[in-house]
Amino acid sequence: MTNKISCVIITFNEEENIRRALNSVKWCDEIVVVDSGSTDKTIEICEEYNCRIYNKEFNGYGEQKRYAVSLADNDWILSIDADEVVSEELCDEIKNIFNDDEIKFNGFFLPRSLIFLGRYFKYGRESKEYYLRIFDKNCGNFSTDKVHEKVKLNGNTQKLNGTLHHYSYTNIEQYFNKFNSYTSNAAQVLFDEGNKGRNVVSIVLGFPVYFFKNYFIYRNFLNGIQGFLWALFSSLYPVIKYFKLWALWNKK
């Protein structure tokens, strides 16, 4: 390509996902992997793809991704997670843009679609949610948030059409392992900010409201049993997060 692009990925025990992800970005000029101590075959697989591999203790998603960006040789960054795949359509779209002599934008939003428990979500917010994943690192970088990090960019952006596939969870056990980590980190962030959260009654009564929105308003009822489970689990997230925050404030 006329304009070179670096793909950055952070990993931790991703042997089930990483090969699929790497296959979808092997056309990039380089692949930078920042690992946080994998004990499975993640590193071995990354070596097969001639990735530049670094190790860094994990201290939050934002910091980890910022570090990966800092290691990239090229200004243009494509950031994907280890459980994501760049579709062929999106790959072709990116190549066409980066083969032009001049790129008119500073960043690009990619539409991401969820694949949950083997089902591709055609409906709901997760069927086509846009994320800023391609950007000029001279114009922006990831936020320092420990969870729910995002790219902050000064410049013009454009939405692309090709899909980024998100192979989120292959089984329920895996979901709740990450669920526990995410809710604990989110609660700790709120606690560190001095956020007192909500009272117990509002936390409990919020659950049916969250579920109604996730299942009916966001149309996850059209995604089969996987859509029901996603709506249920997603509705539990704020409940557990705020109860963990409540526990932090009330521990003795």
Place of tokens 């489970």: 229
- Bridge partners, 159 (sequence order): 109
Q: DSSP letter at 29?
A: S
Assess contact for 132 and 158: CB atoms under 8 A.
no
CA 161 to chain centre: 18
Residue 194: C-alpha distances to residues 184, 243, 250 (Å) = 15, 15, 13
Q: What sign for the dihedral angle of Cα 244, 63, 112, 11? A: negative
pTM, 2 dp: 0.92
pLDDT in the model for residue 1: 82
CATH of domain 5-168: 3.90.550.10
Using DSSP, state whether 57 is helix, strand or coil. coil
> Residue 173 pairs with which residues in a beta bridge?
none
Nearest to 77 by CA among 122, 34, 120, 14: 34
What pLDDT is attached to residue 251?
A: 85
| pLDDT means over runs of 10, the chain (252 residues) | 96 96 98 98 98 96 98 98 98 97 96 96 94 98 94 98 94 94 94 93 95 97 98 97 96 68
Q: What angle do CA 127, 128, 132 make, to 5 degrees?
A: 140
Given this model, what pLDDT does residue 64 score?
98
Residue spans of the domains in the chain: they are 5-168, 172-250
Would you give the DSSP letter of residue 75? S
